[in-house]
Amino acid sequence: MIVLGIETSCDETAAAVLDGGRKVLSSVVASQDEVHAPYGGVVPELASRRHLEMIVPVIRRALRDAGMGLRDLDGIAVTQGPGLVGSLLVGCSAAKALAWVHGTPLVAVNHLEGHIYAAFLEERAPDYPFLALVVSGGHTALYVAEAPRRYARVGQTRDDAAGEAFDKVAKLLGLGYPGGPAIERAARGGDAAAIRFPTASMTDGLSTSPSAGSRRRCRCTFAAPGACPVRRRTSPRPSRRPWSRCSCDRPSTPGSGSAPGAWS
């Protein structure tokens, strides 16, 4: 069975042709890094506009690389969510149009389920049941895959996913976008003991957000004197944590992480 897969859930336009669900005949990805780099993160409206420009060329190239035509397809699969609404609309509209014109069966795919199933593209596919770590854009979660299409979420981040935290911290430090590779490159020549970040404490099970806590600690550590975003909070709602938990209140001792020059 030859299937064309289309993916436009966020900031990359992608298409692939697979044989039997396991053999990849072609895979084409159009990145949007240069579009969103000036903003330090994905701008949804710009992402959807770029998808409009790239969706047809990407599909054409994927078919050409696989040596296939639209009439050779046994089915079309497209990401239907979760993701950015405008971006998803572009991919779904293209897939529905192709399926309608050529009378090809169309299957809507859950974005996160697609990530889990990607493990079966490897030569050594996992055996059920297995634990799947999904780290994708705005989603960082653990799932137990009990059987085909049967999943149980074990835990997930509350607000920032890992990728979002990397992007926000990289923007804060002026390292560029995307944040993950930029921070990795900077860390290779850094001092691992210069800044001491707290270890995430999961007091209510696995549903926590250590990435957001690390991002907040970075903001406190590198903020100008008197400009700590945590200390400047003026909400009348009582804070669950005292101000002394802010890194600005900690003594500037070696290894304490309170000296902004520690990363220089």
Rounded Cα gap, residues 35 and 10, in angstroms: 13
Are 82 and 148 in the same domain? no
Is 71 a domain residue? yes
Phi-psi region of 55 (alpha: psi -120 to 50; beta: other; left: phi over 0): alpha
CATH number reported for the structural domain that contains residue 79 in this entry: 3.30.420.40
Domain that holds residue 52: 2-120
Find, among 263, 255, 160, the residue nearest to 215 by Cα: 160
pTM of the model: 0.74
Are 56 and 14 in the same domain? yes
Q: What would the pLDDT profile of 3-35 be if each residue is shown by its tens digit?
A: 999 999 999 999 999 999 889 999 999 999 999
Are 35 and 144 in the same domain? no
Are 9 and 47 in the same domain? yes
Domain count along the chain: 2
Lowest mean pLDDT among 32-41, 51-60, 64-73, 100-109: 32-41
Are 7 and 98 in the same domain? yes
Rounded Cα gap, residues 211 and 164, in angstroms: 8
